Amino acid sequence: MFRTFYLSYLLRNAYKVNTFIYALKSIPGLRKLLPDKLYQSKVLKIFGNIISILLEIINIFLGKFLYLFLMIFCTISLYKTEISTTFLHVFFFLTIIGSFMNTYMFNPTKDKYYAMFIMRMNAKSYTLTDYFYAIFKIIIGFLPFTIVFGLLSNVNLWICLILPFFVVASKIVIASYNLHLYDKKGIIINENQPGKYINLLILLFLILAYALPALNIVVPSYLLLILMILMILISIKRIEYIINFNKYREMYKIVLTASNMNQVENANRMAKENVLKQITIDSNKTSNKKGFAYFNDLFVIRHSKLLWKNSKKVAGISAIIILIAFIIVTINPEFKMSINNMIMTYLPYFVFIMYLINRGENITRAMFMNSDHSMLTYSFFRKPEAILKLFKERLKSVILINLLPAIIIGFGLAILLLATGGTSNPLNYLILIISILAMSIFFSIHHLVIYYLLQPYNLNSETKNTTYTIVNLLTYIVCYYMIDLRLPTLYFGISMIIFAVAYSIISLILVYKFAPKTFKIRI
């Protein structure tokens, strides 16, 4: 038993240390400095080992601390119910959820796969040592914090001592029940993709945990305590089942399928299939254009689900929302002031809204996956004039498609402004409309330009460009920050328009200058 434990520890550690070195090497700039021999370096291995032990300690304690602090200790202070009972109440129900969502035993991880299938370790002894080590870690990890936060919440010390055992007991009971389910019916529960019923159950327990105390209802402590002790007693019996279970190897063969484990690759493949599914053919619709215009036209027609249909849907929803606002102010004139005020000062908020409804990023992804990913391997498609011709066609389409909802929103806001009492400066109407349109055009150009300048995908459609990710993240952060900005519509609108025009001109110059070089498949 000890040998199995030691071996599995070594294996997991080697895996972690190498992951650490790999991560170190993928930091831009460091890659060139660090040679491949790094994986052999003794010093780095020792360093990696220290890091891995530190991580293990953090892993044992940090999560439990955060969980108890944020999910329980902080939230129960919001309720008016008696604090120690509330603590136990929330703790009890969350623990039940945790035992479903986080069994440990049914979590498909790579180290389990490496140990049992690649290294061919004995599945049963590996699983048992691994599992009981995990259980041990949970107890050690929880104990200090159930004591600290428990005592701070006026819970009896000896109850605090019991709590970690209740956590592992419910995990053991659920895990052994899942094993039983596999043994008798061949059903495997994948905890990372819980089914409909489990999700409902989780939702129910979440409501029990957090909604009941809000209604001043908590389950009495003595009842919870009886249930916890009962759970611990049952679990002692169920440990026997886990130890005697003999089908670990065959069970893990199903749990550890490639699709469960390689979630990143899996997500990638699914994303690819989904984008491919966006292609629809309607034999009535075709194009009379020629060359690149023809190519782009057909792309737009065949991706109507992603493009026009989606844009019409957004436009429709926007129209309905504006109509509802219009009806509200007609029926209830006292809202007029506040809506008028809102339109006059909340324009920055619309940057975020326009960002959200712009489909630029999805459109460029579809462009890559369904078209450029293959076309860029043909030299005729990669000639500078070809790249720029198609860019022009695409720019027109993307702007047009995104402009439809923008027109509705722009004019809708202007009409709403008029209906809520108007403004002293008529220029506001114009600025409102133009700035919304400018935002829409800006985002359309922005997405297409960064796609052409930073073309981030490789042949497997994985994003290979950190700059692209960073630019996208920054765009999001800036737009999100706009939510809190309150500026008079007139000034903000004018600056937005100037910014959008300037950005568009500069970025288009950059594309014409650099895209012929940058627009290719990443190797």
Partner 1 sequence: MKLEVLNLKKKFGEKEVLKNINFTFESGKIYGLLGRNGAGKTTFFNCLNEDILPDEGTFNIVTESSRPLTIDDIGYVLSTPVVPEFLTGREFLKFFLEINEGKIKNEKTIDEYFDFMKIEEEDRDKLLKDYSHGMKNKMQMLINIIASPNILLLDEPLTSLDVVVAEEMKEILRSIKTEHILIFSTHIMDLALSLCDEIIILKDGNLTLVDKNLKGEKLKNKIMEILSEDK
Q: List interacting residues with partner 1 (CB under 8 A).
A: 32, 35-36, 276, 279, 281, 290-292, 294-295, 298-299, 302-303, 370-371, 373-375, 377-380, 382-383, 386, 520-521, 523
Determine phi and psi for 429, rounding to 5 degrees: -60, -50
Residue 249 or residue 392: which is nearer to partner 1 going by CB? 392
Q: Cβ distance 153 to 83 under 8 Å? A: yes
- Please report how close the Cβ of residue 302 comes to partner 1 at its closest, in angstroms: 4
Tokens 């009886």 locate to 226
- Please report how close the Cβ of residue 38 comes to partner 1 at its closest, in angstroms: 11
Residue 45 or residue 302: which is nearer to partner 1 going by CB? 302
- Please report how close the Cβ of residue 515 comes to partner 1 at its closest, in angstroms: 14
- Please report how close the Cβ of residue 46 comes to partner 1 at its closest, in angstroms: 23
Q: Which residues pair with 458 in a beta bridge?
A: 522
Tokens describing residue 220: 């009495």
Residue 146 or residue 455: which is nearer to partner 1 going by CB? 455
Residue 27 or residue 54: which is nearer to partner 1 going by CB? 27
What is the CB-side half-sphere exposure of residue 375 using CA atoms within 13 A?
A: 18
Compute how many other C-beta atoms are within 10 angstroms of the C-beta atom of residue 218: 21
Sign of CA dihedral 194, 199, 201, 202: positive
Residue 191 or residue 372: which is nearer to partner 1 going by CB? 372
Residue 253 or residue 383: which is nearer to partner 1 going by CB? 383
Spell out the long-range contacts of 313-320 with Cβ–Cβ below 8 A and sequence spacing 24 or more.
314/357, 314/404, 314/405, 315/404, 315/405, 315/407, 315/408, 318/357, 318/405, 318/408, 318/409, 318/412, 319/408, 319/412
CA distances from 288 to 9, 298, 302, 362 (A): 66, 10, 15, 26
Q: Cβ distance 181 to 91 under 8 Å? A: no
- Please report how close the Cβ of residue 380 comes to partner 1 at its closest, in angstroms: 6
Q: Cβ distance 465 to 522 under 8 Å? A: yes
Residue 37 or residue 184: which is nearer to partner 1 going by CB? 37
- Please report how close the Cβ of residue 14 comes to partner 1 at its closest, in angstroms: 22
Residue 12 or residue 373: which is nearer to partner 1 going by CB? 373
List alpha helices for 262-383, DSSP H: 263-277, 291-302, 308-331, 335-345, 347-357, 360-367, 373-375, 379-382
